[in-house]
Chains A and B, each alone.
Chain A
Amino acid sequence: MNRDEIIAAVAESINRILRDKNLDPVGVDAATVLIGGAVAIDSLDLATIVVELEGTTGKDPFAAGFIGFSTVGELADLYA
């Protein structure tokens, strides 16, 4: 998967999570801040997104330990 496809996968995950919470879907792009920004997701939601990305891409960029990221684009870079 390339970076754009991974960003699209993250957007799909975010909006499914929001639907589960009875919240409206949001626009997601590379600059979207994951925690503490305008998107109402919490730590467990973010963990869910990471688990789904690992399943989709077959990659585990955190295998050697935690790596910092803040936006959807920075997260996608880890899996691209």
Chain B
Amino acid sequence: MPEARAPCRKTRLARFPPLASAIVQDDVRIGAGELTARATGLAARLREAGCGRVALRTDAAATVAVGLAASAEAGCEIALFRGEPAADHDLLGRLGAGALIDDDLALRSLEPTGTAPGAGFRVLIATSGTTGTPKLARHTLDRLTARIRGPAVRHGRGRWLLAYHPASFAGIQVLLTALISGDDLIAVSDARASALAEAALTHRPTLASGTPSFWRLFLIALGDRARELALEHITLGGEIADQATLDRLGCVFPRAAVTHIYASTEAGALFAVKDGRAGFPADWLKAPVDGAGLRIRDGLLEVESPRRMEGYVDAEEGSDAPGTGDGWLKTGDAVTRLGDRVLFLGRTDCVINVGGLKVSPEEVEAVLLEVEGVADAHVHGTKNAITGSLVTADVALETAQAPDRVREALIGHARDRLDPHKVPRVIRFVEAIELTRSGKKARVR
């Protein structure tokens, strides 16, 4: 007879949760004892090295779990970076970390040796850099875990499928939720929907979290086998959760509770909508929900978050998220009130949201302009049903050239310089880039 879990309760953590879960990383099960031993060993090396701040670069959730636990034990700051080489390279260089932790958990000294003192255990999470250079948001453990409930009432140990990158804010939320709840975690370093579908069919998760774009792709990849999964809890975040996707998940997984979450790296986890409907109840504008205040100003959602970051790490980049001057944060999300509901309409800035990953058009344009023969480029998003948006580039050439050859050069260069989701997938050649009356490129707002 499986043991019933303790009733759901809210948890405030003074200490990092014990590594009492198992993590199935790339089909290899790493038990709680092994995770704990790895964390203890890494903590000893961190203390010996005397680092106030370390960096961890990995695509593996198990390595993130060990890195977080070890840094908490050693009392140092840990900055999390994705494993791919193009990402966050400049950010790592500016960090002033004493050492870099690799996938094998070895400490590698950084040159020049970092001198940042650190502020005790904190988690530094890279933002998407949509408002300029990517930054690191500093979070305390208390704020990261403040919305996480303890073990839910259910039979047996749950198994989470992690569909976010483990170094992202959402990925850390899922990881911490699994650790606090004593659930196991299933993760793959190659986080394509097809790989996650394979992992799900092999390891049978009972809970899963990902962006709406992930869920749509996941259903395509699973095909008829989707109904083999006995999911009990589904969460969506990082993008607008549209009604059609919510309905389809409810239809394919009728036993699952479907929740969509509103959160950001800067503002933290804000609220969860559990009624199966898109948007959130308009009543939530009247009083704080889970301690978070919500209001609409000029059609935009603003939030007052008790779980917001402490600030950006590099003060030169600006010490706080875009605010309103009265303690509220601007989210950049356009909303409309419709009856008893507030519905999300999309971004009001020029940010392109590709399956939950944000892309700054200016960053992509700068890379395209490096290609010989390109006179100008205008990068924008094209809506689609699979990934929400897709990066599209309108390109004007200096002289008449063979489009196929230029297209090949543009894609090759962009692939070398940009993360995969930032590489333009649709390239159109135009005579000239259309400018507004003020002489700027027309940004979609």
Q: What secondary structure prevails in chain B residues at the interface with A?
A: helix
Q: Is B420 an interface residue (CB 8 A)?
A: yes
Contact B219 A43 (CB under 8 A): no
Contact B217 A51 (CB under 8 A): no
For B183-226 the 0/1 string (1 means CB < 8 A from A) is: 00000000011100110000000000000010011011111100
**Chain A nearest CB: distance from B230 CB in Å?**
19
Selecting from B72-80, B255-263, B327-335, B385-393, the interface stretch reads B385-393
Q: Is B350 an interface residue (CB 8 A)?
A: no
For B84-128 the 0/1 string (1 means CB < 8 A from A) is: 000000000000000000000000000000000000000000000
Q: Which residue of A lies closest to B223 (CB)?
A: A70
Given A43-B192, A43-B193, A43-B386, A48 and B219 contact (CB-CB distance below 8 Å) = no
Number of chain A residues whose Cβ lies closer than 8 Å to a Cβ of chain B: 24
Please measure, in the bound complex, the distance between the C-alpha atom of A61 and the C-alpha atom of B390, giving whole angstroms. Answer: 17
Candidate in B213, B242, B386 with the most chain A CB atoms within 10 angstroms: B386
In chain B between 220 and 259, which residues have their CB closer than 8 angstroms to a CB of chain A?
220-224, 242-245, 247-248
Q: B220 contacts which of A44, A64, A65, A70 (Cβ < 8 Å)?
A: A70
Q: B420 contacts which of A20, A34, A44 (Cβ < 8 Å)?
A: A44
Contact A68 B220 (CB under 8 A): yes
In chain A between 5 and 55, which residues have their CB closer than 8 angstroms to a CB of chain B?
20, 33-36, 42-48, 50-52, 54
Contact B221 A36 (CB under 8 A): yes
**Chain B nearest CB: distance from A74 CB in Å?**
9
Contact B198 A36 (CB under 8 A): yes
Please measure, in the bound complex, the distance between the C-alpha atom of A42 and the C-alpha atom of B195, giving whole angstroms. Answer: 10
Please measure, in the bound complex, the distance between the C-alpha atom of A45 and the C-alpha atom of B385, giving whole angstroms. Answer: 13
Q: Is B384 an interface residue (CB 8 A)?
A: yes
Q: Which residue of A lies closest to B224 (CB)?
A: A70
Q: Which residue of B lies closest to A49 (CB)?
A: B386
Contact B382 A42 (CB under 8 A): no
In the complex, what residues of A have CB within 8 A of residue B193's CB? 35-36, 42-43
Q: Is B426 an interface residue (CB 8 A)?
A: yes
Please measure, in the bound complex, the distance between the C-alpha atom of A34 and the C-alpha atom of B420, giving whole angstroms. Answer: 19
**Chain B nearest CB: distance from A49 CB in Å?**
9
Candidate in A43, A48, A69 with the most chain B CB atoms within 10 angstroms: A43
In chain B between 383 and 415, which residues have their CB closer than 8 angstroms to a CB of chain A?
384-387, 390, 408, 411
In the complex, what residues of B have CB within 8 A of residue A64's CB? 244
Q: Is B9 an interface residue (CB 8 A)?
A: no
Instruction: Show the binding face of A for B, using Cβ within 8 Å.
Output: 20, 33-36, 42-48, 50-52, 54, 62, 64-70
User: Told that A42-B193, A54-B384 touch, could you supply 14 new A-B pairs with CB distance under 8 A?
Assistant: A36-B221, A43-B193, A43-B213, A43-B387, A46-B217, A46-B220, A50-B385, A51-B382, A51-B390, A51-B425, A62-B384, A66-B216, A66-B385, A67-B385
What are 22 A-B residue pairs whose CB atoms fall within 8 Å in the complex? Answer: A34-B220, A35-B220, A36-B193, A36-B194, A36-B197, A36-B221, A36-B222, A43-B193, A43-B355, A43-B387, A46-B220, A46-B386, A47-B390, A47-B425, A48-B426, A50-B386, A51-B382, A62-B384, A65-B242, A65-B244, A65-B248, A67-B385
